[in-house]
Structure 1
Amino acid sequence: MSDNRVVEGRMVTPKKLAALVEGESVMDAEPIEDADRDCPECGGDVLSVGYMPSVTEFVTGYKCQDCDWSDREP
């Protein structure tokens, strides 16, 4: 089973998905999961990924699989 998922028509790794949410590359990312919620913009499926943008920070990022909507929670 691969950790990669299709987002906006492109195959992404957990670190790439986290970078899409964060806007820059991240240090480490956990496997991608289904967020069990719908995108507030297009109603598409939302993925979640836990990641470390820095050594001392861990956040959860959310990204729609179909449009460019994303969000993050510290």
Structure 2
Amino acid sequence: MSENRVVQGRMVTPKRLAELIEGESVMDAEAIEDADRACPECGGDVISVGYMLSVTSFVTGYKCQDCDWAATDDE
């Protein structure tokens, strides 16, 4: 599986994807995965990435590959 994915026409790393979702820098990010769901805004493919906001905060973020939609599930 490739580490990087195309999001809105740009190749992104897991850490960059997490930063797109959060709107700020993150400490670390896991591999990007398919979220097996469609975007609620445009119906495009959604991908997910787990990342550390801080040493005590792990978040799973979701991002559409085709539009600006993004969301998180705080764990």
Give me the TM-score of the superposition, normalised by structure 1.
0.97
Q: CA deviation at 1:47?
A: 0.3
Question: Any stretches of 5+ residues in structure 2 without a counterpart?
Answer: none
Instruction: Indicate the residue corresponding to 1:36 in structure 2.
Output: 36
Q: Which residue of 2 aligns with 1:21?
A: 21
Q: How does 1:45-60 map to 2 (within 5 A)?
A: 45-60=45-60
Runs of 4+ in 1 over 3 A off after TM superposition: none
| CA-based RMSD | 0.7
Give me the whole-angstrom Cα distance separating, in 2, the residues matched to 1:64 and 1:58.
Answer: 20
Deviation string for 1:28-64 (max 9, x for gaps)? 0000000000000000000000000111100100000
Amino acid at match of 2:6: V
Question: What percentage of residue pairs aligned between the two structures are identical?
Answer: 80
Equivalent position SS for 1:59: strand
Task: Report the Cα distance in structure 2 between the residues aligned to 1:54 and 1:68, rounded to whole angstroms.
Answer: 24
What's the TM-score once normalised by structure 2's chain length?
Answer: 0.96
2: distance between equivalents of 1:25 and 1:16?
A: 8
